[in-house]
Chains A and B, each alone.
Chain A
């Protein structure tokens, strides 16, 4: 077998020897605990495309992130409705006042 072929074989052996490497559960737990306290500042994690389609769990992270968005949208809609209602109330007050003034006006 030639030198390059042997190098290729060695690469294949390296790949195979490390294919199943995985972090210990305790390590993942330690990382999760160490990063659990502070909130993230990122604003569009949900829209960040991932490099690998096979990364289903990371996509789940994006889905989790998206869960916050409807709540925010709901708050915005509620605020807009309140503002609208307040504006309408003022309009009605103005209309009532105008009607009253017109009624009092000879």
Chain B
């Protein structure tokens, strides 16, 4: 049986808010999140058209994985662009809490991609290690290990 575009439209309507929030948290930029969300849904649609989804897993988990991978690709491309234009980043916010938030965001972005991803999924999306392992298609142990390393790095670099 073949589905149709309207079924996918309902999927978009039902998941776009959560996936967009994840994209914003992964990229830290709304414009980039727009691009990530659009690219992710188009990739997902193409995969469904081609039978690329193995249909054994959970649909939302699979969509999360696509958004994470698309955001990481965007991050790699942005780093290349930043190297070209030598951007120094934004000015620090005045208030202390905002300054700490900006500091955390900057530190998280400096982490290796795999550590950044598990932190965002754990601390911002509130996922369990098991759920993160499903999204990233890795073991729960690997998730825990990345979390430990990422948190240790954050604590070391955090300046009060």
B17 at the interface (CB under 8 A from A): yes
Q: Which residues on A are within 8 Å of B, measured CB to CB?
A: 3-4, 6-7, 9-11, 13-15, 17-19, 21-24, 27-28, 30-32, 34-45, 47-52, 55-62, 64-65, 68-69, 72
Whether A58 lies near B14 (C-beta < 8 A) is yes
- Contact flag A48-B158 (CB < 8 Å), given A10-B104, A39-B5: no
Whether B1 lies near A23 (C-beta < 8 A) is no
Task: State the CA gap A60–B12 with chains docked (Å).
Answer: 11
Contact with A along B9-25 (1 / 0, CB 8 A): 11111111110110011
Whether B160 lies near A35 (C-beta < 8 A) is no
Residues of B within 8 A of A50 (CB): 58-60
Residues of A within 8 A of B60 (CB): 50-52, 55, 58
* Cross-interface CB contact of A10 among B18, B24, B25, B101, cutoff 8 Å: B101
Whether A11 lies near B104 (C-beta < 8 A) is yes
Name the residue on A nearest B57 (C-beta): A48
Would you call the interface of chain B mostly helix, strand, loop, or mixed? helix
Whether B131 lies near A51 (C-beta < 8 A) is yes
B100 at the interface (CB under 8 A from A): yes
Whether B16 lies near A64 (C-beta < 8 A) is no
Whether A35 lies near B1 (C-beta < 8 A) is no
Task: State the CA gap A43–B104 with chains docked (Å).
Answer: 44
Task: State the CA gap A13–B96 with chains docked (Å).
Answer: 12
B147 to chain A, nearest CB (A): 13
8 nearest CB pairs, A to B: A57-B14, A58-B14, A61-B10, A36-B5, A40-B3, A10-B104, A23-B20, A35-B45
